[in-house]
Amino acid sequence: MNLQAQRNISRKLKVFEHAAKSGNVAFTCRHFGISRDTFYQWKRAYAARGERGLINSKPCPENPKLRTPPSIEEKILYLRRNYHFGQVRISWYLARYHDIKISSGGVYSVLKRHNLNRLPDRQRKRSIPTIRYEKQVPGHHVQVDVKFLDFKVEEGKKIRRFQYTAIDDATRIRALKIYERHTQ
């Protein structure tokens, strides 16, 4: 029996002792902040199963089919212990680099099960370094951008022009051209 179970049992036994001493269940329930229905449920469980009946338990058994597979759990725990990633970043990392789709809530439940749900207080925020896409061959990868320009001419009339910018990744040469129509 773990520490939490022992605490549950001792608290509920104190409630029973107080009720027996005072002789007033309603007063005891108000004093401990529980409902009378809860008190009588505890009393029935104690009468049926003894101290084992006073241990808090989940209303339904755990379904092992819904649990995260152990291989994925190992990866989640590895990322948490070695890189101190948060649950959202672990979820994103597994989706991107391992093709494993798991929600951040699923990651949290795995971390909680292994008592790793809290990062260290003095842990600074990590950022993944950005690696630029650069090629040595000119023209291999060109970034194209469009900007909408609005000019005011006489009589308060507006005209719109479209600025196209193309940047070559290898040479970083920029080509700039302005067109009257956005059909390029």
> Are 120 and 69 contained in the same domain?
yes
The pLDDT of residue 96 is above 80:
yes
Number of structural domains, the chain?
3
> Are 127 and 69 contained in the same domain?
yes
> Are 156 and 112 contained in the same domain?
no
List the structure tokens of 122: 């003095």
Residues 155-180: tens digit of each pLDDT: 888 889 999 998 887 777 888 888 88
Predicted TM-score (pTM) of this structure: 0.43
Task: Tell me, yes or no, whether 136 lies in a domain.
Answer: no
> Are 41 and 104 contained in the same domain?
no
DSSP β-bridge partners for residue 162: 148, 179
> Are 50 and 64 contained in the same domain?
no
Structural domain span for residue 14: 3-54
Rounded CA separation 28/32 (Å): 6
Task: Tell me, yes or no, whether 119 lies in a domain.
Answer: yes
Residues 108-156: tens digit of each pLDDT: 999 999 999 888 777 666 677 777 666 677 778 888 899 988 888 888 8
> Are 64 and 125 contained in the same domain?
yes
Residues 43-79: tens digit of each pLDDT: 999 999 999 999 988 778 878 888 899 999 999 999 9
Q: Which of 132, 153, 146, 134 minimizes the C-alpha distance to 176? A: 146
